[in-house]
């Protein structure tokens, strides 16, 4: 069953935003730079670690807008090296934008740079289930 058929079901009402989130997440997943890990930490925590060797903390940015976490790195200028000094240049020297779609209630609790890795810690408190009784009126 394709995603579009699934979301076109008459039994799923109001899931248009979820459909767009899944489409956006699929597009984001296709990006390959910089490499990253996502790991579970404890019962309700998640840590995203990005390889940001060569970036200083002031060149990195972590922002949350709505349900999207964006981690950016910007290079002000190329590292100073005499013209033609590189025999091989395999370390990327470009900026990046890496985005993640967050679930409702997920919060960023901090970010640290350590040994060339940027760690972004998130938490998601357990959702509380609310059951409401809806009164039925006679027409």
Query: 105-124, pLDDT tens digit by residue?
Result: 899 999 999 999 999 999 98
Backbone angles phi, psi at 5, to 5 degrees: -65, -40
For residues 4-28, one letter each, b for 16 or more C-beta atoms within 10 angstroms of the residue's C-beta and e for the rest, the string is eeeeeeeeeeeeeeeeebeeeeeee
Taking CA atoms, 85 is separated from 28, 39, 81, 89, in Å, by 35, 39, 6, 10
**Confidence check: pLDDT of 127 > 60:** yes
Q: Measured in whole angstroms, how far is the alpha carbon of residue 83 from the centre of its chain?
A: 37
Both tokens of 20, joined, read 């767009």
| Average pLDDT in the chain | 83
């Amino acid at each position: 069953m394709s995603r579009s058929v699934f979301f076109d079901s008459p039994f799923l009402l109001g899931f248009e935003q979820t459909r767009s989130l899944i489409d956006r997440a699929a597009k984001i997943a296709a990006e390959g730079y910089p490499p990253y890990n996502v790991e579970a930490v404890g019962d309700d925590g998640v840590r995203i670690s990005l390889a940001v060797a060569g970036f200083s903390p002031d060149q990195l940015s972590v922002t949350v807008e709505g349900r999207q976490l964006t981690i950016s790195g910007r290079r002000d200028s190329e590292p100073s090296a005499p013209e033609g000094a590189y025999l091989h240049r395999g370390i990327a020297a470009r900026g990046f934008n890496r985005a993640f779609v967050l679930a409702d209630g997920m919060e960023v609790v901090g970010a640290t740079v350590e040994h060339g890795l940027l760690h972004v810690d998130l938490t998601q408190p357990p959702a509380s289930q609310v059951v409401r009784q809806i009164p039925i009126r006679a027409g």
